[in-house]
Amino acid sequence: MSQDGIRRAAGELLADPGQDGLITRGFLRGAGLPAASLGRRPVIGIANTWSELNPCNAGLRELAGHVKAGVRAAGGLPLEFPTISLGEAFVRPSTMYLRNLLAMDTEEMILASPVDGVVLLGGCDKTLPAQLMGAASAGKPALCLPAGPRPLSEWDGRPMTIDGLWPLLDERRAGRLDDDGWHRLEGCLSRGAGTCNVMGTATTMAVVAEVLGMALPGSALAPASSPARAALAEETGRAAVARTRAAVTPAQAITRVSLGNAFRVVCAVGGSTNALLHLQAIAGRLGARLDLAELRRISDGTPLLADVKPTGSRFLHELESAGGVPALMGRLAPLADLDTLAGDGRPWKEAAVTATTGTGCLATLDRPHAPPGTLRLLSGSLAPHGAVLKRSGADPALCRHRGRAVVFDGVDDLRARIDDPDLPVDETSVLVLRYAGPVGGPGMPEVGRLPVPARLLRRGVTDLVRVSDARMSGTATGTVVLHAAPEAAAGGPLALVRDGDWIELDAEESRIDLLVDPAELLRRRESWMPPRSPVRGYERLYREQVTQADEGCDFAFLRAAG
């Protein structure tokens, strides 16, 4: 028997001459696997989030075939299995609400199954982070294969990426996009399988997986349905066998140092604010934590190197042509620690590329596209445990701003009143959305980029300071303060704001403050009531166990002891 008596190493189980081995081999032969392939070979599970409920991951079914070819070529036995899948476009109340469930599904299937190592096929925003969390906890050797970005769309004869959707939605609300345009937009929004084709959350997390040494160098950016991605899939299969034979566990790749490198690269590409939550959650699975001071130090020391949408002007394929993540690691070498592991088993100091083809997309440290501070980690009396602003996507004129609050309690209230002609709002107002955090949402829906009221849009206002305990799509921009912690539903100061209160954002000083006398706030707190908790099911587990944004919104009981 193995150590725990129940969970046995796959090789040991397949070679067992007794009852357990007979049953395992017998069922695999019944599934069409030849008896000769069931000897002592590394068994590589392929955790697949392909689903018709997740069009971004539609290419993963075919890619799994290429992974299997690679596993077999390297002498392993591939066994594909499904897990739940989370498509941003369909899942309600939010994919974040179910991220931890997918992480548990992944962890438990890896542990319960006769596999020695695993390839994780993910893409759409939460799938890769959940798989990384689950694999980190399971502890068996693992490598990711991201789905890759989908093809560009076209709008009015020009290439269009998904971030182009947000201004067009504003145009519609302002009455400037007619029915014909509205129907054309539906037809051109998504042109095929693959993840959002800008540096949104999905691509940011593919970049993170690569930097963490949990995906092959160069695997983040190749298009979804390209020969290059098929080749990467086969290579990932081979590399997973090698990693399994060498018994390299996720904990050897994901360290405090590599997590710091990953956050640094997120800053250098103007990546998604959601990456902060996922990095904290992944770190927590291994007993690590990135504290606010350390995140600030990294953000304040890392300039913007990649000019790529949604904060920049260029396309992902231009960043790929410039060398992608290996080239970014080369450029960041003076700042990052390149002794960490890359996905192909080499240290990054060998896998990083120093000679890059100059397309203008990738800048150098001494002549960056923008100074450090693309992701501003804020704190202050409105968010004592932190908040974040993607400064590279904000209006510089609003980054130091004092305005009066216009408060919305949850998404329904926001939708009901945002275009009310009597709403006391102008271009100096600060829009506040609360009860949309981890507990309040539940699951922090991506509603933090509150719409600019149609009345202001018609006057040409395109941005306002907005503050919430919610998240925002990685494909969006604006002067949007997100992830305020503690959230309103947990009794954070956001719960005490009233219409007309002064709020001050000072991105330079990394502050977000509620300018109300503390004695008055104490009085308001006396009448505050927490929202009621549901009595059963996953929602009860979620609301009771989810941690706040600054801790990554994982379930408290899933984190490793620090």
For Mg ion, the binding residues (CB under 5 A) are 88, 125, 201, 473
Rounded to whole angstroms, the Cα distance separating 49 from 5 reads 30
- Comparing CB distances to ligand FES, the nearer of 115 and 196 is 196
Q: Report the DSSP beta bridge partners of residue 76.
A: none
Residue 224 touches which of Mg ion, ligand FES, none (Cβ within 5-8 Å per kind): none
Rounded to whole angstroms, the Cα distance separating 145 from 99 reads 18
Asked if residue 364 lies in contact with residue 305, where contact means CB atoms within 8 angstroms, the answer is: yes
Degrees to nearest 5, angle at CA 121 with 118 and 125: 130
- Comparing CB distances to Mg ion, the nearer of 126 and 559 is 126
Residue 550 touches which of ligand FES, Mg ion, none (Cβ within 5-8 Å per kind): none
Contacts with 48 (C-beta within 8 Å, 6 or more apart), sequence order: 60, 61, 64, 80, 81, 82, 83, 121
Question: Among all chains, which residue has been given the structure tokens 């992608």?
Answer: 324
- Comparing CB distances to ligand FES, the nearer of 197 and 356 is 197
Residue 89 touches which of ligand FES, Mg ion, none (Cβ within 5-8 Å per kind): ligand FES
Q: Are strands 142-146 and 117-122 parallel, antiparallel or unpaired?
A: parallel
- The minimum distance between CB 26 and ligand FES, in angstroms, equals 40
- Comparing CB distances to ligand FES, the nearer of 71 and 202 is 202
- The minimum distance between CB 522 and ligand FES, in angstroms, equals 43
Q: Report the DSSP beta bridge partners of residue 467.
A: 432, 481
Task: Give the CB-side neighbour count of residue 344, counting CA atoms within 13 A.
Answer: 15
- The minimum distance between CB 86 and Mg ion, in angstroms, equals 10
- Comparing CB distances to ligand FES, the nearer of 92 and 367 is 92
Query: 316: closest CA among 353, 269, 255?
Result: 269
Residue 425 touches which of Mg ion, ligand FES, none (Cβ within 5-8 Å per kind): none
- Comparing CB distances to ligand FES, the nearer of 126 and 376 is 126
Residue 163 touches which of Mg ion, ligand FES, none (Cβ within 5-8 Å per kind): none
- The minimum distance between CB 438 and Mg ion, in angstroms, equals 16
Residue 244 touches which of ligand FES, Mg ion, none (Cβ within 5-8 Å per kind): none
- Comparing CB distances to ligand FES, the nearer of 200 and 492 is 200
Residue 374 touches which of Mg ion, ligand FES, none (Cβ within 5-8 Å per kind): none
- Comparing CB distances to ligand FES, the nearer of 271 and 410 is 271
- Comparing CB distances to Mg ion, the nearer of 272 and 299 is 272
- The minimum distance between CB 335 and ligand FES, in angstroms, equals 29
**DSSP per-residue string spanning 415-470:** HHHTT-TT----TT-EEEEES-STTTTTS--S--SPPPPHHHHHTT----EEEESS
Binding site for ligand FES (CB under 6 A): 56, 88-89, 124-125, 195-196, 200, 202
- The minimum distance between CB 282 and ligand FES, in angstroms, equals 18
Token readout for 153 is: 């769309």
Q: Report the DSSP beta bridge partners of residue 327.
A: none
- Comparing CB distances to ligand FES, the nearer of 197 and 244 is 197
Q: Are strands 480-485 and 465-468 parallel, antiparallel or unpaired?
A: parallel
- The minimum distance between CB 88 and Mg ion, in angstroms, equals 5
**Helix 165-173 vs helix 179-188: crossing angle, to nearest 10:** 160
Query: Helix, strand or coil for residue 173?
Result: helix
Residue 124 touches which of Mg ion, ligand FES, none (Cβ within 5-8 Å per kind): ligand FES
- The minimum distance between CB 279 and Mg ion, in angstroms, equals 16
Asked if residue 149 lies in contact with residue 120, where contact means CB atoms within 8 angstroms, the answer is: no
- The minimum distance between CB 169 and ligand FES, in angstroms, equals 15
Phi-psi region of 537 (alpha: psi -120 to 50; beta: other; left: phi over 0): left
Residue 234 touches which of Mg ion, ligand FES, none (Cβ within 5-8 Å per kind): none
- The minimum distance between CB 434 and ligand FES, in angstroms, equals 26
Cα 268 to Cα 201, 301, 332, 404, distances in angstroms? 14, 10, 9, 33
Residue 431 touches which of ligand FES, Mg ion, none (Cβ within 5-8 Å per kind): none
